[in-house]
Amino acid sequence: MRMGADRERPAWGSLPTVLRERILAEVGGSYVADEPAHGGFSAGYAGRVRTTAGDVFVKAVASDGHADSALFLRQEIAVLEALAPGIAPTLQAGIDDETGTACVLPVVEGRHPGSPWTVEHLHAVAEGMSVLSVTPAPATLPSAAQSMIPGCVRWPEIATSSESLAGLPIRIRDRMPQLVALSDAIGEAIDGDVIIHGDLRADNILISGERAQFLDWPHARRGAAWVDLPWFLPSVEAAGGPPCAAAWTIFEERGAPSQESMLPVIAGIASFFWFEQARPEIPQLPGLRAFQRAQAAPALRWLEELV
């Protein structure tokens, strides 16, 4: 499964000179070299920048660049400023002015999991999720019960669309009244006060030794424990890892609740992927719909097993 829109990421040298100078002023030293990152779904620059003062990881969007990518950087800056040390990479500098928007972070060593996924990778991620599951979220983070709706409440809309229904598995179509009813329960199911990362997948995780470090925090929320898990597992299965239901048992060893107790969330996420994959392509983010489509398939198979 292809993890992002690599060809759309601008090179360091394509960023406006004034923005590069602004970033280097925060980093210190003179520019030596840079190494662009790959994967992910952002139209902004992301990569390792080396100066005479050392290495940093930079994410940046010019003031006239992709608006959503700039918005996500602003959100990430706010999240990283609010999180306690050790949960996420430490924000070294945040820039948001007339030159553009940029996030300067320490370089996190490690490798992305999932090539292929292993039991050891999943245990490392499970341990990281277990920490989030008991870590109170800053009050400034948006509430999951508000920010994840209506994105995860798509079954009522899908149920009225003959085109959307036509492509669904027969068992899912037959259970549509139940799925529509489950949509009413998702608000309560995701409401809570712990940290939710909001976008966990292989390219947002680095593993070093037995530890998983979670990266890219613009979608962090305040909500119920383990809400990240139903979002995460379809990406694992789509990338050749174990089926969602089988992988869940690894996370139960770290305190995750039963799949049945999170059925409203699992159903809501399946509705999200199925709805989003059919939407028009975003020119700046080629591959996004195909990526969502690849996750919709395991999410629907998983839901079929549970309803």
pLDDT tens, 180-209? 999 999 999 999 999 999 999 999 999 998
CB atoms within 10 A of CB 31: 16
CA distances from 232 to 115, 125, 163, 171, 178 (A): 16, 10, 27, 23, 24
d(CA 153, CA 245): 22
Output the pLDDT for position 7: 45
d(CA 46, CA 34): 10
Residue 239, judged by CB atoms within 10 A of its CB (0-12, 13-18, 19+), counts as: buried
The residues, ordered by sequence, that sit 6+ positions from 23 with a Cβ below 8 Å of its Cβ are 49, 58, 60, 93, 95, 102, 104
With the C-alpha atoms ordered 244, 248, 250, 254, is the resulting torsion angle positive or negative?
positive
d(CA 190, CA 92): 31
User: What is the reported pTM?
Assistant: 0.92
* Exposure of 40 in the CB half-sphere (CA atoms within 13 A): 22
Output the pLDDT for position 43: 81
Output the pLDDT for position 6: 41
To which residue do tokens 């002015």 refer? 97
Q: Which residues of 110-146 are buried (b: 16+ CB within 10 A; e: fewer)?
A: eebbbeebeeebbbbbbebbbebbebebeeebbbbbe
d(CA 276, CA 153): 12
Output the pLDDT for position 286: 86
Please give the single-letter amino acid code of residue 158: I
| Gyration radius of the chain's alpha carbons | 20
Residues of the chain with pLDDT under 70: 1-8
Q: Across-strand partners of 298?
A: none
